A and B are shown apart, each in its own frame.
Chain A
């Protein structure tokens, strides 16, 4: 029984962490799906989201939901600005040029963040007082923060699925993703569609930032680097470009990390995470949900 309880505890640990990875991975995958760009600045947008949430709660005295919405709106706007200023001029340039620009934007956000908010970590205010549910005779714990993270992540994913498959802009996104030139010929405003994709992806990262602030209570300007990379691995694992793939890949990454730390060694956790990236790229580069499209030569 003891083993079962530890296993369930690790599963809960993993799913909470995985929900956050999934939210960030969704942004990666959406942007990749539409303009074939690995947006390395995505992890840093998540950091900005955490700080916007922090200032909304501490300085403007907002409660959780308004702060979450404020952070999502701010990040959506930031996503659009970044796309317009950094990526749009390079849309017809080589992919490597856009990729390097993304790394530049990432460093700009990180060190700009250090300049503006100082490198010292800040303590995120306690929005939900700590309380927890227990299962299995009080041996397995789940905090209300973990429940909130999981619920918010699920709601946002359902919302995203609705936008992509049931709305006009979603249809435009799918069309642009399928064939940009053909979409343009059909009268779809490609620029607006790409901006909308960046806005939605960045808003999800912003939400993840606020959730992480609440979950870990400590935020800093460089907090986006590692989760950003892990979410990238998650997106590749699920199949980059695929929205359900990012969600499943994120959750899977979280659970794998928890299980590796719990049953093997905490120091091997990151090695396993990035080992998965290498393995996926060798064995099945399209990931779990990826479509097998042959590259046109």
Chain B
């Protein structure tokens, strides 16, 4: 037994030395590729978001490399799964920077997980670009200062709420509105507050403010109450599962005026839950429309469809754009140097992607347009209008 242990120990030692030697060997060579880290929710409760983005990003990487890569080298993405968990997101960011030696980070999807990864990026001075983290504090610290290394490629919640309110007043000609807010969601509460402020500023009246919690399935009693106040529009800025149920139940109770939502409504599941009838006169603000006639968008949509068999959602589009944006910044930086890439990202101007033209403002938020989407009689998304900031 003792001998066996000794032999095993020796074997392990030999193995370790070979591995170490292997590592040492590659390090001395000139870089063969430009490494960027991808910290995404590939499992856990928002896994569908992470996977959708990852698909689009891999598509973008293949395209970029087919066109010659960046700085004459191929671009390579090091994928890591943060399990939709904030603590894990911090670990993954550390691992990508210290072990994989990436020069830039992409992801995560949700604001909470971005906030968990941000301190690591700040500490190691590595630029981090989130395609989808919409919370205002992602790029701006509590002290009101912009976080130097943190960027995003999507509009922030206040803008979306404002677009919703403008659309309600100007296009839907709404004079009265009801708010139906998921009270345990920061996303929904934030949007609700901005909508309320802008709607009243534009001369509208909020006739009813009601709340629900994520676990609720039966909204009929509250919707009956809202319906009795006869609002011109109901604002429901939640995620598709609740949104779908609310739309369905509101229609069953005879509410026929428009329902307005935000980007959480963007999901194929929505139609299955609500049914096409309930989605008539439903509008929501979103990052992009797959039905735009822009050739860049239709090329992206067709390529994605051929590859993955489904219409890309806004998350996929934002992931696709973010990958190009990083590549663009590396090209403009002229070197695989994190500090120069950070400077290049901060000065992004007139970058054209499938989700619109992006110029980075001094808070590292992109100035870009939002779109309003609705549904046709079969429940398919249709493009209504584009709103510039």
Contact = CB atoms under 8 A, between A and B. Distances in A.
Interface stretch (B270-278, B291-299, B337-345): B270-278
A217 B252 contact: no
Interface string A62-100: 000000000000000000000000000000000000000
Given A6-B228, A130-B275, A143-B252, A262 B221 contact: yes
B244 A262 contact: no
Interface stretch (B132-140, B207-215, B279-287, B370-378): B207-215
Nearest to B48: A120
B224 A13 contact: yes
Interface string B238-256: 0001001100100111100
Contact of A261 (B222, B274, B278): B222
B273 A217 contact: yes
Contact of A218 (B210, B254, B273): B273
Interface string A168-179: 000000000000
B57 to A, nearest CB: 22
A218 B224 contact: no
Nearest to A266: B222
A218 B244 contact: yes
B222 A262 contact: yes
B227 to A, nearest CB: 8
Interface string A255-273: 0011111110011011000
Nearest to B222: A266
Interface in A199-254: 212, 216-218, 222-223, 225-226
B218 interface: yes
A226 B215 contact: yes
A131 to B, nearest CB: 10
A126 interface: yes
A234 B322 CA distance: 52
B183 interface: yes
B252 A10 contact: no
Interface of B: 45, 48, 183, 210-213, 215, 217-218, 220-222, 224-225, 228, 241, 244-245, 248, 251-254, 269, 272-275, 277-278
Contacts of B244: 123, 217-218
Given A126-B275, A218-B245, A267-B183, A2 B228 contact: yes
B275 A217 contact: yes
A130 B252 contact: yes
A34 B215 CA distance: 32
B217 A223 contact: yes
A13 B221 contact: yes
Contacts of B217: 212, 216, 218, 223
A119 B248 CA distance: 22
Given A119-B45, A217-B275, A266-B212, A261 B252 contact: no
A55 interface: no
B255 to A, nearest CB: 10
A132 B217 CA distance: 20
A257 B221 contact: yes
A139 B228 CA distance: 10
Contact of A141 (B210, B228, B254): B254
Contacts of B272: 123, 217
Nearest to B183: A267
A216 B218 contact: yes
A145 B339 CA distance: 61
Contacts of A119: 45
Most chain A CB inside 10 Å of its own CB: which residue of B210, B218, B253, B277: B218
A30 interface: no
Given A121-B241, A130-B277, A266 B210 contact: yes
Contact of A9 (B45, B183, B224, B277): B224
A22 interface: no
Given A141-B253, A143-B252, A217-B244, A123 B221 contact: no
